[in-house]
């Protein structure tokens, strides 16, 4: 197997691992937060504390895997256009940094609800409300990271399109996903409750990112000099 194919399959494996780790975290923490009910959410968290801890760890692991994915894709696509390859690595790094710091907001409810000595002076209702606030801050912080995670898709998609050793259709779908994902970010902050864009961006993202990762793992790259 040539070097490019090895790098491509490594990148695909890392990308797929990142996506599956992210999905695992979402499944584990599903239905843990009860919207508008801080007391019920606190009860859920304390009854299934491991679920929040598992989601916390999965976000950190996913961030590391995503950064490694960007590095592997950089090695693969750097011959196509070095400056654009550097750009998507830095955009990916920005998203990973925001996501990693934001996980503190997810861990804070465990500290607040643990009954630590320094917090016993606060009423239970106040601690529950603070825990709910940190969970909401985590959701908002996650969406802020999507500025970088959305933006990195355009240079990545463009390089896939121009590479000559990966299907051009994947590059087109990645660039379209960039536009849809950035619009999802704007929708979240400017039009909360409006989900029309999400109905397009999530399926498109599934096709784009799973499509690229599976192609890299299964097919690798063509024996061809980059365009």
Residues in the chain: 227
pLDDT, one tens digit for every residue, the chain (227 residues): 567 889 999 999 999 999 999 999 999 988 888 888 888 888 888 888 899 999 999 999 999 999 999 999 999 999 999 999 999 999 999 999 999 999 999 999 988 888 666 676 678 888 889 999 999 999 999 999 999 999 999 999 999 999 989 999 999 999 999 999 999 999 999 988 787 888 888 889 899 999 999 999 998 877 655 44
To the question of pTM greater than 0.75 for the whole model, the response is yes
Nearest to 22 by CA among 152, 154, 142: 142
> Given this model, what pLDDT does residue 163 score?
92
Rounded CA-CA distance 227/224 in Å is: 9
Buried b (16+ CB within 10 A) or exposed e, 102-116: bbebbbbbbebbeee
> Given this model, what pLDDT does residue 224 score?
54
Q: Tell me if 226 sits within 8 A of 22, measured CB to CB.
A: no
Rounded to a whole number of angstroms, the distance between the first and last alpha carbons of the chain is 21
């Amino acid at each position: 197997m040539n070097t490019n194919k090895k790098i491509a399959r490594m990148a695909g494996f890392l990308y797929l691992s990142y996506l599956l780790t992210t999905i695992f975290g979402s499944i584990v923490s599903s239905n843990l937060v009860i919207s508008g009910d801080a007391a019920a959410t606190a009860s859920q968290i304390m009854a299934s504390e491991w679920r929040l801890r598992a989601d916390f760890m999965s976000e950190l692991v996913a961030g590391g895997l995503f950064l490694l994915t960007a590095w592997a894709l950089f090695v693969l696509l750097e011959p196509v256009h070095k400056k654009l390859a550097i750009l998507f690595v830095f955009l990916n790094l920005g998203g990973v940094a925001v996501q990693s710091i934001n996980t503190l907001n997810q861990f804070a409810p465990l500290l607040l609800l643990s009954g630590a000595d320094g917090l016993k002076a606060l009423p239970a209702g106040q601690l529950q409300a603070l825990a709910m606030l940190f969970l909401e801050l985590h959701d908002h912080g996650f969406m802020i990271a999507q500025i970088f995670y959305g933006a990195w898709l355009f240079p990545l998609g463009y390089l896939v399109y121009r590479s000559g050793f990966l299907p051009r259709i994947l590059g087109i779908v990645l660039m379209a996903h960039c536009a849809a994902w950035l619009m999802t970010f704007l929708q979240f902050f400017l039009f909360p409750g409006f989900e029309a864009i999400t109905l397009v961006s999530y399926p498109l993202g599934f096709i784009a990112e799973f499509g690229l990762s599976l192609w890299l793992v299964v097919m690798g790259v063509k024996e061809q000099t980059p365009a």
